[in-house]
Structure 1
Amino acid sequence: MQDHGHEAGRGHGAHPDHDEVFDRDFWENKYRTSDPAALRHEPNPYLLDVAESLTPGRVLDAGCGPGAEAVWLARRGWEVTAIDISSVALDHARNLAEEEGPDVAGRITWQQADLTAWTAPAEGYDLVCTNYVHALEDVVPQLAAAVRPGGTLLVVDHFDILAVLDPAEWRPIPLVASPRVVPAFDGTETVLDDRVMAAVKIAPDTP
């Protein structure tokens, strides 16, 4: 399975067909042939809004692409686990982190993995974030399970994740999304009309 659709350098544009979505080679080639400038982009603004209100802790960046969000989080003191299916994307991400110096690079653990086959660690994360992960409905259980009680799940996608989360276990965070222009893999620009969902996992015995 392909674990990201990525916006722009996290590669957005038209989603590939479903057969390609599950092909690791597709994403290796996509990153290998991308405009280098498209792989250096600003972190997702919705992540900035959510994370800036949280105390830094453990965070999972699921489908991290070339690393903009992971590096931004590490720069602010988060201990980051950044997962992507593409080794090429992870190479770009590591280089980006190393440019920030050892304090930032040392806070990030990079993993090449398929999210549909990935299992959340028992200790969980204070924040789990993902942007345009293809076949998101297939990985929602893993992402939700990775959030600690009291932790936050942030998803930027076209899929209504709230429809599949148990309302007894999650408290939605109101967010307002608006169309935005982002770079595409080929160096051009595209407009994204995001669906943004954030929710806090309700701790046991919390009203």
Structure 2
Amino acid sequence: MTHEHESLPEEMGEDFWNERYRSGERIWSGRPNRHLVAEAGGLSPGRALDVGSGEGADALWLAERGWRVTAVDISFVALDRAAAHAAERAPDVAERITWLEADVTRWSPPTPGFDLVTAQFMHLRPEPRARLFAGLAAAVAPGGELLVVAHHPSDLERGVPRPPDPELFYGGGEVVAALAEGEWEVLVDEARPGEQTLDGTTHTVHDLVVRARRLG
């Protein structure tokens, strides 16, 4: 995931992310992503897959609402930290989450098995991104939903401090292209505005939000 103004190495693999998480006691805010709260808050709990789960805020939010969550991340440092955060909550919350270390560009989730598949701010290069979207879509059970959130490419045009690599950004069409025609209903596909403080300056930013329901 990329959330901040920074230079990107050619390969953001396991070593990169483990070192990133070791660099501070908490890297992210500890709060669930606002688009997950907005889009999934009204869904009935079932089985959820949280891809790129980081320090676990989204997985914990889902588990506290009754979801059984498989939380996947490439960094064992992040997963250990997330499990520790879960242990601080009610025992039944921690029991609802399975923490799984995996490189999601190479790992295939069980298909179809999840009532909600969520991927927040997964900024990969086009080829692994296309494979990821196909795998996420395949993992959604009939009647389940897919939620993909990312920094919208328009942020680059507006001067928001983002990694200066347009290849890492994408529009909703790339996500929708991974959905088999006639098998999905696209509920949301928009660039949603908000505010984010970066380097001490508050910017108007836009996040891509795509939410789709698998028919059946």
Do they superpose with TM above 0.5? yes
What pairs up with 1:62-101 in 2 under 5 angstroms?
62-101=51-90
Q: Which runs of 4+ in 1 moved over 4 A?
A: 188-192
Structure 1 residues 117 and 72: alpha-carbon distance in aligned structure 2, compared to 1, 3 A threshold: same
- 1:145 and 2:138 matched: yes
Q: Structure with the greater relative contact order (CA < 8 A, sep ≥ 6): 1 or 2?
A: 1
Structure 1 residues 134 and 147: alpha-carbon distance in aligned structure 2, compared to 1, 3 A threshold: same
- 1:202 and 2:185 matched: no
Equivalent position SS for 2:54: coil
Give the counterpart of 1:171 among 160, 163, 185.
Answer: 185
Q: Which moved more, 1:149-158 or 1:75-84?
A: 149-158
Superposed CA offset, 1:152-194 (max 9, x none): 000001423124433422211136611232679xxx6775421
Q: Percent identity?
A: 42
What amino acid does structure 1 have at the position aligned with 2:85? L
Structure 1 residues 126 and 27: alpha-carbon distance in aligned structure 2, compared to 1, 3 A threshold: same
Equivalent position SS for 2:11: helix
TM-score when normalising by structure 2 = 0.79
Structure 1 residues 123 and 167: alpha-carbon distance in aligned structure 2, compared to 1, 3 A threshold: closer
Corresponding residue for 2:8? Answer: 16
CA RMSD of aligned residues (A): 2.2
Give the counterpart of 1:109 among 98, 105, 111.
Answer: 98
Structure 1 residues 163 and 50: alpha-carbon distance in aligned structure 2, compared to 1, 3 A threshold: same
Corresponding residue for 2:157? Answer: none
Number of equivalenced pairs: 189
Query: Partners of 1:149 and 1:189 in 2: how far apart?
Result: 43
Structure 1 residues 142 and 164: alpha-carbon distance in aligned structure 2, compared to 1, 3 A threshold: closer
Unaligned runs of 5+ in 1: none
Bigger strand share: 2
Unaligned runs of 5+ in 2: 153-169
Q: Is the 8 A contact 2:111 2:138 kept in 1?
A: no
